[in-house]
Structure 1
Amino acid sequence: MGLGSQDYVSIVELIIYIPALIAAIVVTARHGFHRASGWIYTVVLCTVRIAGAICQLLTHTDHSDGLLTATLIIDSIGISPLLLATLGILSRFIDFVNAKGVQLFSVKQFRFVQLLITLGLILSIAGGTGGSTDSNGTVTVSGTSKAGIILYIVGFAGITYFFLLSSSYRSGVPRQERRSPIAVAIAWPFILVRLIYSALAVFVNNDTFSVVGGKVSVRAAMAVIEEFLVVFDYLILGFMLHKLEPEEQGELANRAWKDRRGKRRGNNSDKGGFISLTKPPSVSIDTQ
Structure 2
Amino acid sequence: MALSELNNISIAEIAVYLPALFVAILLSVRHGFRRSVGWTYVVVFSLVRIIGASLELATINDPKNTSLYIGYITLQSIGLSPLILTQLGLVNRVLQSVEKARAGWLNPNSLRIIQIIVLVGLILGAVGGSDAGSNYGKTGVYEVSTKSKAGIALMIVGYILIVAATVITATRLAHAEPGEKRVLLAVAICLPFILVRIIYSAESVFGHDSRFSQFGGDPNILLGTAVLMEMIVIAIVEGFGLTFSVRPKEELPSKTLWAHSQGRRERRRERHAHQGYVSSNV
Equivalent residue, structure 1, for 2:123: 122
User: 1:68: how far off?
Assistant: 3.3
1:146-161 mapped onto 2 (5 Å cutoff):
146-161=149-164
Distance 1:240 1:35, change over 3 A: closer
User: 1:228: how far off?
Assistant: 1.1
Equivalent residue, structure 1, for 2:31: 31
Query: 2: distance between equivalents of 1:139 and 1:36?
Result: 37
Distance 1:109 1:148, change over 3 A: same
Distance 1:134 1:96, change over 3 A: closer
Partner of residue 193 from structure 1, selected from 189, 192, 196 = 196
Equivalent residue, structure 1, for 2:136: 133
User: 1:100: how far off?
Assistant: 1.5
User: 1:136: how far off?
Assistant: 8.6
Structure 1 or 2: more helix by fraction: 2
Partner of residue 230 from structure 2, selected from 212, 227, 230 = 227
Structure whose alpha-carbon radius of gyration is higher? 2
User: 1:23: how far off?
Assistant: 0.9
Gaps of 5+ in 2: 261-282
Distance 1:90 1:77, change over 3 A: same
Could you give the per-residue CA deviations for residues 50-100 of structure 1, whole angstroms, max 9, x where no partner exists? 111111111135155433322321112211110110000000001111212
Number of aligned positions between the proteins: 257
- Scaled by the length of structure 1, what TM-score is found? 0.83
Could you give the per-residue CA deviations for residues 110-137 of structure 1, whole angstroms, max 9, x where no partner exists? 1111111110011111111211239995
1:239-278 mapped onto 2 (5 Å cutoff):
239-251=242-254, 277-278=257-258
SS at 1:70's partner residue?
A: helix
Could you give the per-residue CA deviations for residues 237-288 of structure 1, whole angstroms, max 9, x where no partner exists? 221111111223334xxxxxxxxxxxxxxxxxxxxxxx675126xxxxxxxx
Equivalent residue, structure 1, for 2:259: 279
SS at 1:278's partner residue?
A: helix
Equivalent residue, structure 2, for 1:71: 72
Q: Percent identity?
A: 35
Equivalent residue, structure 1, for 2:93: 92
Question: Is residue 84–residue 114 contact of structure 1 (8 Å, CA) maintained in 2?
Answer: yes
Equivalent residue, structure 2, for 1:174: 177
- Scaled by the length of structure 2, what TM-score is found? 0.85
Could you give the per-residue CA deviations for residues 157-209 of structure 1, whole angstroms, max 9, x where no partner exists? 11111001111222322231110111001100011111111111111253210
RMSD between aligned residues: 2.0
Query: 2: distance between equivalents of 1:199 and 1:191?
Result: 12
Greater CA deviation, 156-165 or 54-63?
Answer: 54-63
Could you give the per-residue CA deviations for residues 2-23 of structure 1, whole angstroms, max 9, x where no partner exists? 2110111111111111111111
Equivalent residue, structure 2, for 1:106: 107
| Higher RCO (CA 8 Å, separation ≥ 6 residues) | 1
